[in-house]
Amino acid sequence: MGATLRVDDIVARAVAVDGLQPADGAPWLGALELLVESASSEAGLHSGGAEAMRAKLVTLVAERLRAEVLLGANAEIRERPLPVRFVVAGLARSGTTLLHRLLSCDPDVEFLPTWQAFHPVPPLTGPDERRQDTVDAIEAMRRADPDAFAVHPLDADAPEEEVFLLQHSFASMLFALTCPLPSYNAWLSTTRHEAAYRFACDLLRLNEWRVGRRAVPGMLRYALRWVAAWAGEGGKSVE
């Protein structure tokens, strides 16, 4: 067993960021509990790895809480249509990332830039430093493991996959890319995650609302990576 993580510690640190509390019985807390338990008992994290995961989870919880406040205070965000021109789906390492980025070159298609995929929730107050934070994070990753960029190149302003947004519901395969999480993976692959996909779509809407972009049904928009986003929305707002 490696270094131990605790949900109460992670949530407390996240609450301290903006002073926001999670709702009692929030479903995503259960997913976070499963992830943390798997990481603590199965991942074999050393102290540095545990600290890195703790910092990531604190950021995700803080952003989740902030998003819930913004969505709750501005009901019109969830009513925004989210027109889609392309949906790309396929097996891993089959060229879907290349195709997604190629389709995103269409000037009539709005894509999700990497800095918004990494940090989809704007601050409640103060300057918005999400892009610079992403630039710094990518540079740190490049220094630590330059070969990783041959597998999946990263650039703060390049198109990125909306799968990153599932992390804010703690229902994402991305957590298992850096350490073994067998029990979490078993839960992830045998559980339906409609709520996580709906929340990911809400994060896309939140960023459009933030910049005052008009959402017009039929406009050529996001080159989404996952069909399940449409299914989870019931086809009502993802058009």
Give the pLDDT confidence of 58-67 residue by residue, as tens digits. 999 999 999 9
> Is the predicted pLDDT of residue 34 greater than 80, yes or no?
yes
Helices (H) and strands (E) in the chain, counts: 11, 2
Which residue type, as a one-letter code, is found at position 190? T
Q: Per residue in 184-226, pLDDT tens?
A: 999 999 998 889 989 998 999 998 888 776 654 322 334 444 4
Average pLDDT, the chain: 87
Phi-psi map region of 96: left, alpha, beta (phi>0 left; psi -120 to 50 alpha): alpha
> Is the predicted pLDDT of residue 42 greater than 90, yes or no?
yes
Supply 214's token pair. 């008009």
Domain 7-232: which topology? Rossmann fold (3.40.50)
Supply 163's token pair. 């799968």
pTM over 0.75: yes
Q: Residue 86: which residues within 8 A CB-CB, separation 6 or more?
A: 100, 103, 109, 223, 224
The residue-averaged pLDDT of 93-117 equals 87
Bridge partner residues of 113 (DSSP): 159
pLDDT band at 48 (very low <50, low <70, confident <90, very high): very high
Domain boundaries along the sequence of the chain: 7-232
Q: How many CB atoms lie within 10 A of CB 224?
A: 26
> Is the predicted pLDDT of residue 87 greater than 60, yes or no?
yes
| The predicted structure's pLDDT at residue 219 | 29
Q: Per residue in 151-195, pLDDT tens?
A: 889 999 999 988 899 999 999 999 999 899 999 999 999 998 889
